[in-house]
Amino acid sequence: MTTAPQELNQPILQFGTSRFLQAHVDLFVSQALAGTDGAGKALGGITVVQTTDRPDGAARIAALASGAAYPVRVRGIAHGERIDQTLECSSVKAAVQASVAWSALREAVAKHVQVIVSNTADRGYQLDAGDSAAALTSDTPPASFPAKLLVLLYGRWQTDHASTLTLLPCELIERNGEVLRDVVVALAHEWALEDTFAVWLRDHCVWANSLVDRIVSEAIEPVGAVAEPYALWAIERQPRLVLPCEHPAIVLTDDLASHERLKLFLLNAGHTFLAERWLKDARPADETVREAMADTALRAELEALWAEEILPVFEALGVLPEAQAYLVDVRERFENPFLNHRIADIAQNHAQKTQRRFGPIVEMAGEQLVGLVQPRLNAALP
């Protein structure tokens, strides 16, 4: 099922149909449109685009295109309170497969779209050798997401040089807006497009760096999701930035790195420490984070890691109160009675995660706190 071209006039265009987006960006916009949960203004509705032709995505697109609201079940602990509620999300007004409605999408971006959101797969920014400048005049979309974006933006540039267009990638890539911008600009040069277009891409379009954080543990079929109460969308402030909506979970910041550091050093490092102990101590194969937190000895070790090896780094940076407040949320998230977060899943690619999550903490401690002993972190590093 697809949406007729004349319906693709929403101000927000979203690449991706994932349950994460359904329970994060889409829900925020829905709440803003309805004026609920402290949300403020919204630009309007969302057009969702499936970038691939996978059958599971097609089923979601068909359900979203029906226009019916879908459920988001929020379950967990927030501020000491047990939460189990079902919300309705009604922000998605149109939904299409790129391969079916490419011409209509090109027209929508040229005339209507103010904000583009994306959350593509892990390899979403990778290019495809088969893509070429021939895509600029084709009714068929190119294969890769950056090439699709380039074609759409080229059409926008040809139609409207002046109006602001904000791109808000949500992929978990450091400085994701800048990374995506550089990939698209480089592709424009590779396709030998006009220099003035490349300048417009780099300097006129607003490529926002952002950090998203919410555990969305299950899908509800055919569309919908189960999510924890905690939610964050930290977006780096910059001139001409346009947000899809105002929402308590959306935080505009001049210091995105501080939000990334909190998540990496406390939440991600906590998960990786539990995985380290799970591997080293041959703990139960199906152990969950919640069960690990209920183990008195293991919980004490994790708390010691935070208190003795990580929080002193935040104190040296002058942001100890912020770290302590964030850690309160982390504990509640780890203890979520509804979430079966298997440590075996966290332990995948453990060596790389250990280096990526523990290494920066040890490195920053060496810069800020010479002599700080970090035995647990160092024992896990190669």
Q: What is the pLDDT of residue 63?
A: 94
Angstrom distance (rounded) from CA 302 to CA 299? 5
Q: What is the pLDDT of residue 121?
A: 75
| Arithmetic mean of pLDDT, 222-237 | 97
- pLDDT at 269 > cutoff 70: yes
Q: What is the pLDDT of residue 2?
A: 45
Dihedral of CA 213/219/223/227: which sign?
Answer: negative
- pLDDT at 4 > cutoff 70: no
Of 109, 115, 111, nearest to 26 by C-alpha is 115
Angstrom distance (rounded) from CA 301 to CA 265? 16
Angstrom distance (rounded) from CA 150 to CA 156? 10
| Residue matched to tokens 């160092």 | 378
| Arithmetic mean of pLDDT, 174-195 | 98
6 falls in which pLDDT band (50, 70, 90)? very low
Q: What angle do CA 363, 365, 370 make, to 5 degrees?
A: 115
Angstrom distance (rounded) from CA 26 to CA 48? 10
Return the amino acid letter for 20. F
Q: In the predicted model, what is the mean pLDDT of the chain?
A: 95
| Arithmetic mean of pLDDT, 273-286 | 98
Whether the domain at 5-254 and the domain at 257-380 fall into the same CATH topology: no
- pLDDT at 218 > cutoff 70: yes
Dihedral of CA 304/307/313/316: which sign?
Answer: negative
Q: What is the pLDDT of residue 1?
A: 42
Domain 257-380 CATH superfamily: N-(1-d-carboxylethyl)-l-norvaline Dehydrogenase; domain 2 (1.10.1040.10)
Domain 5-254 CATH superfamily: NAD(P)-binding Rossmann-like Domain (3.40.50.720)
Exposed, middle or buried by CB within 10 Å (0-12, 13-18, 19+), for 218? middle
Under 8 Å between Cβ of 358 and 380: yes
Summarize pLDDT for 9-39 with one digit per residue, the tens. 999 999 999 999 999 999 999 999 999 888 7
Q: Report pTM.
A: 0.93
Of 279, 293, 302, nearest to 333 by C-alpha is 293
Three-class SS state of 126 = coil
Summarize pLDDT for 97-141 with one digit per residue, the tens. 999 999 999 999 999 999 999 999 768 999 999 999 999 999 999
Domain positions in the chain: 5-254, 257-380
